[in-house]
A and B are shown apart, each in its own frame.
Chain A
Amino acid sequence: GEDVEQSLFLSVREGDSSVINCTYTDSSSTYLYWYKQEPGAGLQLLTYIFSNMDMKQDQRLTVLLNKKDKHLSLRIADTQTGDSAIYFCAEKPQGTGANNLFFGTGTRLTVIP
C-alpha cells in the first residue's frame, strides 16, 4: 500500500503558526486530505487538495503541496488551544479502482497557553 509519513509531535505557543508536515509515496495523481481528531472523537475533515494544485487556503488553514518532493504541509495561523489535537494526513490515489484512504501516523499538536 501507499506509505504516508508524518512527524509524531509538535508543540507551539498560542498565537504562533503551526506547520504540520507529511510525505507520501504515490506517483500517480491523488487526492490528499487533512483530518483532525480530538480525544474520544472521530475524524473531522479539515481540507483537501488535488495533486494538480500547489496551494489551498481556507480561513486559518493553508495547505501547500510540493508534488515533485511528494511533500504536503498544513499551516494553522494564530494557533489556539482548541487546535490541540492529532492531525492526520491521508492520501487517496486515483485510477486504482480503490477508494480507500491511506493515513499517516498522525501528528499530535500541543498548544501551550
Chain B
Amino acid sequence: KAGVTQTPRYLIKTRGQQVTLSCSPISGHRSVSWYQQTPGQGLQFLFEYFSETQRNKGNFPGRFSGRQFSNSRSEMNVSTLELGDSALYLCASSPTVLGNYGYTFGSGTRLTVV
C-alpha cells in the first residue's frame, strides 16, 4: 500500500515568486492536512481538507492557500514568497474526518526561498 506522496521533494524559489506543492494521500483516505515545520516555530497547522472542502485553517496569512480534488489529492500554494516561508511542508492523510487514530505523514517538500 503506497504511503502519502509529496512532490517535489525539494524546491528552491526566489522571493516574490509563487509555488505549488502536491500531496497524494493513501488510497481511500479522504482527509488531508498540511503542516509547516521550521526550526524556530516547530510544527504548525496550515489547513485541513475533507471531501474537497476546507474544514479548518491555521493562523497563516492569505498568501497560503490550498485545495483538494475529487480524487482526494491536495495542493497548497504560496504566493509572493518571503524568506521566512523556507520550511519543510508536510502533508498528512487519514481515512476518517476525525483522524482520531492518527495521521500518516508524507516525507515532505523542503522549500528554500532565496
Contact = CB atoms under 8 A, between A and B. Distances in A.
Contacts of A103: 35, 42-43
A84 B102 CA distance: 22
A33 B33 contact: no
A60 to B, nearest CB: 18
B33 A100 contact: yes
Interface residues of B, number: 26
A26 to B, nearest CB: 14
B98 A99 contact: yes
Contacts of A21: none
Interface in B79-114: 90, 92, 97-108
Contacts of A40: 107
B102 A33 contact: yes
A82 to B, nearest CB: 18
Interface in A91-109: 92, 97-106
Contacts of B74: none
A113 interface: no
A100 B105 CA distance: 13
B42 A99 contact: no
Given A42-B107, A99-B99, A106 B42 contact: yes
A42 B90 contact: yes
A48 to B, nearest CB: 5
Contacts of B92: 43
Interface string A52-67: 0000000000000000
Contact of A100 (B42, B48, B100, B108): B48
Contacts of B42: 103-106
A100 B45 contact: yes
Contact of A98 (B56, B102, B103): B56
Given A88-B43, A99-B31, A44 B102 contact: no
A10 interface: no
A45 B106 contact: no
A44 B106 CA distance: 9
Nearest to A104: B42
Interface of A: 31, 33, 35, 40-45, 48, 50, 88, 90, 92, 97-106
